[in-house]
Structure formats: structure tokens, C-alpha cells
Amino acid sequence: MNTHGIRALYLFEMSRFWRTLFQSIASPVISTSLYFIVFGSAIGSRMARIDGISYGAFIVPGLTMLAILTQSISNASFGIYMPRFSGTIYEVLSAPISALEIVIGYVGAAASKSIILGLIILATARIFVPYEIAHPVWMVGFLVLTAVTFSLFGFIIGLWADGFEKLQLIPMLVITPLTFLGGSFYSINMLPPLWQKITLFNPVVYLISGFRWSFYGAADVSLGVSLGMTLVFLILCLTIVGWIFKTGYRLKA
């Protein structure tokens, strides 16, 4: 394992993160804080409790997951797209570093950024709404697993995109709507029976449900199913990334 190569890629990506702190941290934290103010403090005080949890506290895991999903995809896709756009990707591919080590460097940096952002959002949420974390180890586990999985997904998008417009296409038109419809602001048990079954086809439901369970011990889907579905998506992303490096799709053309 070429640890020097991994470290070089990782530190290069993280240095860009520290140079653009407002864009990387302040902007999503401010946006999420507005959700906490409006839905948590203003509207939440007039909403009925869900599964014995105040509405403001109930939406904390969902809003945190929304930020992690979008930022993981954005960080990873932009990180690998820029070397392709500038042509420096060929220098990376010709360096004595394997495909696995390239993925670890880029995806590891993107996941690290998202984890830092997630922890900051959780700390910020405490200012607006009181909440407890019943299973902190599981919370960190879901946080890391989700960040890594969707950073891999973003890495795939960054390789697939042939223009800046496509970098935002899937996050804006697919991921964000799926997150809003995946139980970020409500329990899927509140839906009619037919829509409950339809919602189960939304993969984001399992991420939010498992993450919310780590906070309150209550979830729409069992912990085992949530964890299993997340791992399935992780394996699928790893398979696609492996195929891309094996065939050279969008890398060597």
C-alpha cells in the first residue's frame, strides 16, 4: 500500500477544503440552521410529538443526513472532476499508485469533509433544539458509513459528468427530493398504507431511519434492514468504481 501517495491526494483535497471554509462549512451550516429555526423552533412548538419525540428533535437526524448526502456527493464529484477537466488526471494515473489508493485518497477526503460538517451541524442543532443521542457509537458508525458510501457515489458522478452542469444534476433532481421524501420531516408511518409501501423503494429511507434510531431508539425501519441496505449500496458503488478503473471509462478517453 502506497501510503505516501494516498496521503498526498488526501492532503491536497483537504487543503482545498480549508481554503474554502465559508463555501464548505458556513454555507450548509447556515442553511441547515434556518431549517432548525423555522421547523424546529417556530413550527415545531405547535406540532404534535412523533413517537414521543418533540418535532424539533425529530427532524435533527433527517436534516443532518440531508447535509451529509448532498455534501458527500458534491465534494467527491468536484474533487475528481477537476483533475479530469484540467487534464492532471493523467499525471495521477501514471503515478506509482493503484486504483484502490486513488479511490481511498479522493473518497477519504470527501468523506472526512462530510463527517466534519455533520458533527458541526449536530453541535449547531443543540443551540436551537434539545435532543439526546441514545446510541452514540451507532450514530458515529452510520455517519461514517453514509459519508463514505455517498462519497463513492459522488466519485462515480464526477467520473461520469462531462460538464459542470451534470455535477449538480443528480444531487439536485434525485438525491435532494429523495431525502425530503425519505422521512426527513415526518415518519413514514404517518402515510397511508399504499404510500408507506411505495416509500420503502426509496433507499434514503433506510439511511435516515437507521440514523434516527441511533438518536432515539425508534425508527420506521428495523436497524438490521437499514444497515443492510446501506451496505448493499456501498458494495454496488465499489463494484461500479472497480469497473470504471478496469475499463478506463471516462478516465483514459
At 249 the pLDDT is 83
What residue type is 111 in one-letter code?
A: A
Closest listed residue to residue 210, CA positions, set 197, 196, 229, 236:
229
What does pTM read for this prediction? 0.90
What residue type is 246 in one-letter code?
A: K
At 252 the pLDDT is 67
Place of cell 450514530: 139
At 44 the pLDDT is 64
Quick one: cell of 68? 451529509
Cα 62 to Cα 1: distance, rounded to the nearest angstrom = 37
At 163 the pLDDT is 80
Place of cell 441511533: 214
At 11 the pLDDT is 92
Helix, strand, or coil here: 159?
A: helix
At 208 the pLDDT is 92
Residues of the chain with pLDDT under 50: none
At 40 the pLDDT is 67
At 151 the pLDDT is 95
Closest listed residue to residue 214, CA positions, set 112, 136, 161:
136
